[in-house]
């Protein structure tokens, strides 16, 4: 047996290092993914959302009512974005996801308060994501006790008792019990489809290239668009099979409600699946081997999972992170699936979330076809 040689070991080290540097994509992924994780977890991830959009319906224009609204905003959790609306309009804002809270101040609020009748203020909450509104709801107890301290002075000082002079009635919409599974299980549908659809498509094309069967495919009189569609459609079927398994578990094991249209949900999921398959097809035209295809899948999946609102509240992220999240199809799909399952949203209500997915699908398809034509050359 020869002794261990530092010279031979160094030669192998240099050879491996040079080989690694030639694979620029793998090296970039090895450096880029930790940087992305560091930036996202350090700057973008926040579990305590502030400035949640709030609609205020006030039938009392007194100073007491204005003090209550000002106290809400002073907590930092509530940002009044809609005022002067009717109660039905405020309910529509909650249903469409444009407002997280709806505050309804009843008529003659100040007069009834002065009489000691303890009038009730209704606060409706979009509770589809309990983590997004939990701290804000907890802050309401502080508002109830301290909001009117400056107004209840002089002859009204007697109203400063241990109990608040008014009642706050919090109505958790769409998830009254605050069950986290109502939020997580629908979100898992999108994350599972994102991960598997992108990876399966990317691996499918690169596998043919590695095995040499791509040349046989190119020898046939098939256009690039026909190859792309033919490659994608089998994975659409697989995606719906995965969906059936997840939906069955959601209904039987986790008792997630189905308020909206099942047919509408299937149609929206089809758009989402094809959008992710377009991404996977694009990756397959860039990756040289299956390892690179897997690496690129994780490069796409990581920000999708962190910036879409699946793991952390979307409105808690800084503005630049929300801009990135709005580009990702998973962000809009999560709003769609939660809207259909928990709120019963219609196609018209989901249109603001549908067209970004269609735009993403168009861009991904154009890039995939262009890259595929380049591989043919």
What does the block give as tokens for 28? 């970039």
Tell me the pTM: 0.81
Nearest to 79 by CA among 107, 112, 105, 55: 55
Same-domain status, 159 and 255 = no
What is the tens place of the pLDDT at every residue in 72-106?
Answer: 888 889 898 888 778 888 888 998 888 999 999 88
Q: Are 113 and 119 in contact (CB under 8 A)?
A: yes
Spatial neighbors of 333 by CB under 8 A, at least 6 apart, are: 190, 268, 269, 272, 353, 357
- For 120, the enclosing helix (H) or strand (E) is strand 120-126
What does the block give as tokens for 115? 């009489």
* Model confidence band, residue 150 (pLDDT cutoffs 50, 70, 90): low
Average pLDDT, the chain: 81
Least confident of 85-94, 140-149, 320-329: 140-149
Same-domain status, 338 and 232 = yes
What is the average per-residue pLDDT within 284-308? Answer: 83
CATH code of residue 60 = 3.40.1710.10
Spatial neighbors of 132 by CB under 8 A, at least 6 apart, are: 49, 52, 100, 313, 314, 315, 316
State the total domains in the chain. Answer: 2
Q: Which of 173, 190, 210 is the last residue of a domain?
A: 173
* CA 255, 260, 263, 267 torsion-angle sign: negative
pLDDT of residue 148: 61
Same-domain status, 77 and 212 = no
Q: Establish if 334 belongs to a structural domain.
A: yes
**More confident of the two residues 360 and 204:** 360
What is the average per-residue pLDDT within 209-238? Answer: 73
Q: Which of 134, 155, 173 is the last residue of a domain?
A: 173
pLDDT of residue 13: 78
What is the tens place of the pLDDT at every residue in 99-109?
Answer: 999 999 888 88
* CA 228, 229, 234, 239 torsion-angle sign: positive
pLDDT of residue 147: 64
Q: Are 192 and 246 in contact (CB under 8 A)?
A: yes
- Other CB atoms closer than 10 Å to residue 112's CB: what's the count? 17
Same-domain status, 153 and 280 = no
275/330 Cα distance (integer angstroms) = 10
Nearest to 178 by CA among 245, 229, 128, 142: 128
* Model confidence band, residue 355 (pLDDT cutoffs 50, 70, 90): very high
Domain that holds residue 127: 52-173
pLDDT of residue 163: 66
């Amino acid at each position: 047996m020869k002794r261990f040689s530092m010279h031979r070991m160094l030669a192998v080290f240099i050879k491996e290092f040079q080989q690694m540097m030639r694979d620029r994509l793998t090296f970039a992924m090895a450096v880029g993914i930790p940087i992305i994780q560091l930036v996202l977890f350090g700057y973008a991830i926040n579990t305590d959302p502030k400035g949640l959009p709030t609609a205020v319906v006030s039938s009392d224009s007194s100073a007491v009512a204005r003090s209550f609204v000002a106290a809400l905003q002073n907590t930092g959790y509530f940002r009044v974005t809609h005022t002067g609306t009717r109660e039905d309009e405020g309910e529509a804002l909650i249903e469409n996801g444009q407002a997280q809270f709806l505050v309804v101040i009843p008529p003659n609020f100040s007069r009834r308060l002065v009489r000691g009748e303890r009038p009730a203020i209704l606060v409706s909450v979009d509770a589809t994501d309990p983590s997004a509104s939990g701290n804000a709801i907890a802050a309401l107890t502080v508002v109830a006790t301290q909001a009117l301290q400056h107004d209840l002075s002089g002859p009204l000082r007697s109203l400063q008792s241990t109990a608040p002079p008014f009642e706050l009635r919090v109505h958790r919409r769409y998830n009254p019990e605050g069950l986290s599974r109502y939020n997580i299980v629908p979100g898992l549908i999108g994350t599972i489809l994102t991960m598997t659809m992108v990876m399966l498509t990317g691996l499918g094309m690169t596998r043919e290239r590695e095995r040499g069967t791509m040349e046989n495919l190119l020898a046939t009189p098939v256009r690039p668009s026909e190859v792309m569609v033919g490659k994608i459609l089998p994975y659409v079927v697989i995606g719906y099979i995965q969906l059936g398994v997840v939906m069955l578990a959601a209904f039987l094991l986790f008792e997630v409600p189905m308020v909206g249209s099942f047919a509408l949900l299937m149609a929206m999921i089809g758009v989402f699946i094809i959008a992710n398959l377009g991404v996977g097809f694009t990756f397959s035209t860039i990756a040289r081997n299956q390892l690179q295809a897997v690496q690129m899948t994780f490069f796409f999946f990581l920000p999708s999972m962190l910036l879409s609102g699946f793991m952390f509240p979307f409105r808690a992220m800084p503005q630049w992170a929300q801009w990135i999240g709005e580009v990702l199809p998973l962000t809009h799909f999560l709003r769609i699936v939660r809207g259909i399952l928990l709120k019963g949203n219609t196609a018209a209500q989901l249109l603001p979330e549908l067209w970004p997915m269609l735009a993403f699908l168009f861009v991904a398809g154009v890039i995939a076809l262009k890259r595929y034509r380049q591989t043919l050359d």
